[in-house]
Amino acid sequence: MSHRTFEDVKNVILSAHKNTEAGDKVGFYNTWAENYDQDVGLLDYRAPSLAANCLSPCFHGDRVTAVILDVACGTGLVAAQLKRMGFRHFVGVDGSKGMLELANKTGLYQDLKQCMLGDEPLPVQAGQFDVVVIVGALSDGQVPVRVIRELCQATKPGGYVCMTTRGNHDNLEYKAALEHELELMEGAGLWGHVAITEVEDWEKAVAEPEKGTCTCCRASPLRS
């Protein structure tokens, strides 16, 4: 593993902002995969642990048998946090083959699927999962807001969806659209909010102060 500095990581992150097409994004993450865990460690990237801490007190089922869908799973950082909290069964989805190869090496996942979220349907059956998590991908230029409805459909009635999104200035429009979609879905009786955590210190800033929100919703037990 190469010795990298915060400045190295900063340059990598800023270069990602230049990639706006889906194919460019996948190529970026395939290239970044080898150094990803080391780099987010240098950033003190807290989203995986924050999401796990948001979900844990809300979930009252059997953690050993619960099946979790980890969307935009990357190298498996979220699954690793949830395993420490007693969860054992994980299915991962990501658009990057390089990231999925590293996730496979962790031994955390019973199944891994490659999918370009927003361009392709989520490759899982509806109503299959006790928990769906998506961490670090709900932002401008990555996963479209409309994918949230697919995540809800993937949960069992009464299941949970836990998600994070950034609150940076360049992501405010996306965040507002996401919150509007969540409100529409709650108004339609598809789910309800059970926890919202606002976080000021998301990670070390590469361009501006990094902050974000972690939201946990419970799908309606009566949903057909």
Over range 179-208, report the average pLDDT. Answer: 84
Rounded CA-CA distance 116/104 in Å is: 18
pLDDT at residue 18 is higher than 60:
no
Per-residue confidence (pLDDT) for residue 202, from 0 to 100: 63
Closest CA to 166 of 183, 154, 179: 179
pLDDT at residue 17 is higher than 70:
no
The neighbour count for residue 144, using CB atoms within 10 Å, is 15
Percentage of the chain beyond pLDDT 90 is: 65
Rounded CA-CA distance 81/96 in Å is: 21
Residue-wise pLDDT tens digits, 65-90:
999 999 999 999 999 999 999 999 99
CB 153 within 8 A of CB 124: no
Q: What is the dihedral of CA 162, 59, 95, 167, to 10 degrees?
A: 20
Candidate from 86-100, 152-166, 203-217 with smallest mean pLDDT? 203-217
At 69, is the secondary structure helix, strand, or coil? Answer: strand
Residue-wise pLDDT tens digits, 158-183:
999 999 998 888 889 999 999 999 99
pLDDT at residue 190 is higher than 80:
yes
pLDDT at residue 23 is higher than 90:
no
End-to-end CA distance of the chain: 49
pLDDT band at 103 (very low <50, low <70, confident <90, very high): very high
Rounded CA-CA distance 24/41 in Å is: 24
Rounded CA-CA distance 100/142 in Å is: 17
Residue-wise pLDDT tens digits, 25-56:
788 888 888 888 888 888 888 889 999 999 99
Mean pLDDT (the chain) is 89
At 195, is the secondary structure helix, strand, or coil? Answer: strand
